[in-house]
Amino acid sequence: MNSKLKIKEAASIIQKGGVVIFPTETVYGLGADALNPAAVARIFQIKKRADNKPLAILVANQSQIEILTACIPCQAKVLIKKFWPGPLTLILPASDRVPAILKGEGNSVGLRMPANQVTLDLIKEAGCPLAATSANTSGCPPPTRVTEIAKEIFKEVDMILDGGETELGVASTVVDLTGSQPRVIRSGPVVLETGFWKNKRN
């Protein structure tokens, strides 16, 4: 586990527009200040990710959710209360504060509050939400420990926070709530069974 000093150092790098690798409960992520388009663009370059595949934004509190969304649908409030912090990414209507580089189809944005204390402390210390994606080159398996991160990515980032092996080892569930009905974009640890959302671990 990383010391408070390491988290402060990583937060300072993020505030200056840097890119940091950090652990979450799902997989290791690449992160930068979500409100800094130039920093976000570096993530796309490092990951070799297509421009038309927006990144998710990681948040640590309610105020960040409100800043980034134009509205929070009732169903989103239910899922947030039940599964956040946790491995669930929600696609919601984006506010004007979200940079264009992070907006998806229909002026949307993907948000998640991770259940990993290192990540939450990093977001709080940096004072900004984090644009994030798994710390792998597009098309390669996401890393669950630092030793699995490709050398070419190591060389491009400004700092790495090593939190040991991730708890879940799979990417978060992604649910689109911008339409009249929830739509699962990516299956993951949170599933819909017989009309009820549940966590696979339960």
Which residues, at least 6 apart from 143, have a Cβ–Cβ distance to it below 8 Å? 27, 28, 134, 135, 136, 149
Question: Residue 198 has what pLDDT?
Answer: 79
For residues 15 and 4, what is the distance between their CA atoms, to the nearest angstrom?
16
Give the count of beta carbons closer than 10 Å to the beta carbon of residue 104.
19
* Element housing 108 (H / E): strand 108-112
Q: Which CATH class is domain 4-199?
A: alpha beta
Question: Residue 194 has what pLDDT?
Answer: 53
pLDDT by position in tens, the chain (length 202): 558 999 999 999 999 999 999 999 999 999 999 999 999 999 999 999 998 899 999 999 999 999 999 999 999 999 999 999 999 999 999 999 999 999 999 999 999 999 999 999 999 999 999 999 999 999 999 999 999 999 999 999 999 999 999 999 999 999 999 998 899 999 999 987 656 777 876 5
What are the residue boundaries of the structural domains of the chain, listed by start? 4-199
For the chain, the three-class secondary structure string (H helix, E strand, C coil) is: CCCHHHHHHHHHHHHCCCCEEECCCCCCEEEEECCCHHHHHHHHHHHCCCCCCCCEEECCCHHHHHHHECCCCHHHHHHHHHHCCCCEEEEEEECCCCCHHHCECCCEEEEECCCCHHHHHHHHHHCCCEEEEECCCCCCCCCCCHHHCCHHHHHHCCEECCCCCCCCCCCCEEEECCCCCCEEEECCCEEEECCEEEECCC
Question: Residue 2 has what pLDDT?
Answer: 52
Question: Residue 35 has what pLDDT?
Answer: 98
Cα end-to-end distance, the chain, whole Å: 26
Find, among 93, 135, 122, 126, the residue nearest to 110 by Cα. 93
Question: Residue 200 has what pLDDT?
Answer: 75
Residue whose pair of structure tokens reads 């570096």 in the numeric block: 42
Rounded to the nearest 10°, the torsion over CA 25, 31, 37, 38 is -170
